[in-house]
Amino acid sequence: MNSKENIKDAVWTAIRSNDMFSFDDMMRSMELSFVELSVIIGLLLKEKKVSLCINHAFISEKGTYKSRQEDLFSRFMDLLSEHVTRELSVSFYASRLCITTKYLSTVVRQVSGKTPTVWIKEKIISEMKYRLCCTQATIKEISYSLNFPNNSFFGKYFKAETGVSPSRYREIHCDCNIASKNI
């Protein structure tokens, strides 16, 4: 087996391992140029070891094409919905989109009028409110499940954003017998 086959097998192994990586990360870690990695992925496509998925996200519901900024915002919001219970940093989302935090902030602000930080805060607060009102979990359990370092930090964060403590919010706004109550 020659070195080209070894490199192709290494790329295939990395893809198969299902680790999250970017094209740039793979180029760096395997010390390959853009063209070399593209050729190897092309060979894997030809051998039907990987398949190509065309992203139709650039087409809106009305059949018109989205701008790159609108597509990035849409992808940011999808990632945010998926990861907000684990990740609260703008840099995480920028990294997953393979862009800089500054560019993500600029694009999100242009498209939505809000910064990524505001979107993240709104999503996590919404999730906190949902869990406080629609689950029987203790505040400690909710804090832990949302990856806050401790109850105190969870409580301070929630109170800073809503004006009331989590326990007081639960008393005032939640009827735990009605799981579908709007928040």
What does the pLDDT read at residue 127?
Answer: 92
Q: Which of 80, 100, 115 corresponds to the end of one domain?
A: 115
Which residues form the domain of 73? 56-115
What does the pLDDT read at residue 181?
Answer: 42
| Whether 39 and 62 share a structural domain | no
Residue ranges in the chain whose pLDDT is less than 70:
1-2, 18-21, 52-65, 176-183
For residues 155 and 166, the answer to whether their CB atoms sit within 8 Å is: yes
For residues 148 and 154, the answer to whether their CB atoms sit within 8 Å is: yes
For residues 142 and 135, the answer to whether their CB atoms sit within 8 Å is: yes
Q: Please tell me the total count of domains within the chain.
A: 3
Q: pTM of this prediction?
A: 0.60
What does the pLDDT read at residue 54?
Answer: 53
| Whether 33 and 84 share a structural domain | no
| Whether 64 and 109 share a structural domain | yes
What does the pLDDT read at residue 1?
Answer: 46
What does the pLDDT read at residue 177?
Answer: 45
